[in-house]
């Protein structure tokens, strides 16, 4: 079994675990458990809370004390146990607590998955910028397979989705311990207290280029999960006007076009990064979000289905050109001794602070445009599109970065 195939399997399982419940659990909580909107939003919001704290912490552990693949494996084993418990819980307080604990151990694994992949590829002599995206694309395929399995087996509104996630998480946790060792980069030289705690990754904020990048990573991170959180609910609200529409009956399958698009756009990242650089790629991503939300605002599962499909296709550029390219950019700019901490910092800004603010603000926006339990989805999506448009106008004015194609041919090591 080649090292690339082993990384493909690891990436596949990483996102299979997440895809098993992320898109469909909202419908389960709304329609089976009878939760209110703010309760569903707050449970999804646990990912943002967790990502503020534990990705950086787990990155520090992987940089200083314990091999990255072991930290990764332990996190998934604990997460699997928590997901199994979650499948048995039906009250809001209990489910919130269990899903918060699960988020605390799962969110760091996204950055650790990248870190382990980068280290293993580097140790085996591969080009990270060239070879990682085709491997990472299998993570998106894993997410799609999980979504389809849950949808086609009728588990969208069942705790079975949590059993599937728990089982695959346990498998991945055990598998991680068989991966090549990714030992801490720390050495025996005397370190300051901040260095011993792994806080040296925050030194990146001293560089104006990186400070601006991380601020906009946070602001754009607020938009990353909005359509994943509310997309299924949005489509379900068409059940009275288009009850037999495919997108209403199989919302997961329709939404999965977004992830299919991801698999295609991931493969284009090396070309776009080398050709245009991170600044232009980020601008493309931001304006893709404008179209993503705008097309949701004017589309529907009936005559406007083609607009929703187009929005799903655009999602690949919107998500990948920011998330994957941003991770590679941070890997290139950070010193190899703080690589895991730097990835944790990127996660903190995007899926932590950004996602938390996004969940809070988007929930308020939805409440504002809800009258007599009827949501004005057109105004909701247009509000999000306007937000992305403002970011797209301001970002190129403040992020100054001269692209040098030769610098993207390799990352620091």
* pLDDT tens for each residue of the chain, 413 residues long: 788 899 999 999 999 999 999 988 887 887 789 887 778 878 888 988 888 788 778 877 877 788 888 999 999 999 999 999 999 999 999 999 999 999 999 988 988 898 889 888 888 888 787 788 788 889 988 999 999 999 889 898 899 999 999 999 999 999 999 998 888 875 545 445 455 444 567 777 777 888 888 899 899 988 887 887 788 888 988 988 998 898 888 888 899 898 888 878 878 888 888 888 888 888 999 999 999 999 999 999 999 999 999 999 999 899 888 887 788 788 777 777 777 677 778 877 887 888 888 877 887 888 889 888 788 999 999 999 999 999 999 998 988 766 565 554 454 44
> What pLDDT score was predicted for residue 92?
94
Residues 7 and 17: their CA atoms lie apart, in Å, by: 16
Residue length of the chain: 413
Instruction: Report the DSSP beta bridge partners of residue 375.
Output: 370
Residues 348 and 52: their CA atoms lie apart, in Å, by: 5
Residues 56 and 348: their CA atoms lie apart, in Å, by: 7
Using alpha carbons, select from 203, 196, 201 the residue that is nearest to residue 55.
Answer: 201
Residues 353 and 297: their CA atoms lie apart, in Å, by: 26
Residues 165 and 79: their CA atoms lie apart, in Å, by: 9
Residues 61 and 59: their CA atoms lie apart, in Å, by: 5
Architecture of domain 3-186+196-409: Up-down Bundle (1.20)
In this structure, are residues 67 and 183 in contact, taking their beta carbons and an 8 Å threshold? yes
The SS3 assignment for 86 reads helix
> What pLDDT score was predicted for residue 12?
96
Write down the domain spans for the chain.
3-186+196-409
**CA distances to 71, 115, 397 from 181, in Å:** 11, 12, 43
> What pLDDT score was predicted for residue 197?
47
Residues 244 and 239: their CA atoms lie apart, in Å, by: 8
């Amino acid at each position: 079994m080649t090292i690339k195939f082993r990384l493909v399997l690891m990436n596949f399982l990483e996102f299979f675990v997440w895809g098993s419940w992320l898109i469909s659990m909202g419908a389960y909580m709304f329609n089976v458990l009878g939760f209110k909107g703010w309760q569903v939003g707050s449970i999804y919001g646990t990912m943002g809370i967790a990502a503020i704290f534990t990705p950086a912490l787990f990155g520090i552990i992987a940089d200083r004390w314990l091999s990255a693949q072991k930290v990764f494996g332990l996190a998934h084993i604990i997460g699997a146990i928590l997901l199994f418990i979650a499948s048995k819980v039906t009250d809001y307080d209990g489910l919130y607590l269990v899903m918060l604990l699960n988020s605390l151990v799962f969110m760091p694994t996204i950055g650790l998955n990248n870190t382990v992949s980068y280290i293993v590829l580097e140790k085996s002599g591969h080009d990270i910028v060239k070879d990682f995206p085709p491997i990472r694309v299998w993570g998106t395929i894993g997410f799609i397979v999980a979504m389809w399995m849950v949808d086609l087996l009728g588990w969208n509104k069942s705790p079975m989705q949590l059993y599937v996630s728990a089982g695959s998480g346990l498998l991945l946790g055990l598998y991680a311990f068989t991966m090549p060792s990714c030992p801490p980069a720390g050495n025996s030289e005397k370190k300051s207290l901040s260095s011993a705690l792994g806080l040296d990754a925050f030194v990146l904020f001293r560089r104006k280029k990186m400070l601006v990048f991380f601020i906009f990573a946070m602001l754009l991170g607020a938009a990353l999960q909005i359509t994943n959180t509310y997309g299924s609910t949005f489509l379900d609200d068409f059940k009275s006007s288009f009850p037999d529409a495919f997108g209403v009956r199989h919302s997961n399958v329709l939404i999965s076009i977004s992830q299919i698009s991801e698999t295609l756009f991931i493969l284009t990242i090396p070309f776009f990064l080398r050709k245009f650089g991170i600044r232009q790629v980020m601008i493309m991503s931001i304006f893709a979000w404008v179209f993503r939300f705008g097309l949701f605002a004017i589309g529907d599962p009936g005559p406007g289905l083609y607009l929703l499909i187009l929005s799903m296709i655009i999602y690949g550029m919107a998500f990948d050109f920011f998330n994957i390219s941003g991770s590679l950019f941070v890997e290139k700019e950070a010193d190899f001794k703080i690589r895991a901490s730097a990835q944790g910092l990127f996660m903190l800004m995007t899926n932590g602070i950004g996602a938390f603010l996004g969940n809070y603000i988007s929930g308020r926006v939805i409440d504002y445009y809800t009258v007599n339990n009827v949501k004005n989805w057109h105004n909701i999506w247009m509000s999000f599109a306007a937000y992305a448009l403002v970011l797209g106008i301001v970002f190129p004015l403040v992020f100054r970065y001269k692209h040098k194609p030769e610098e993207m041919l390799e990352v620091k090591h």
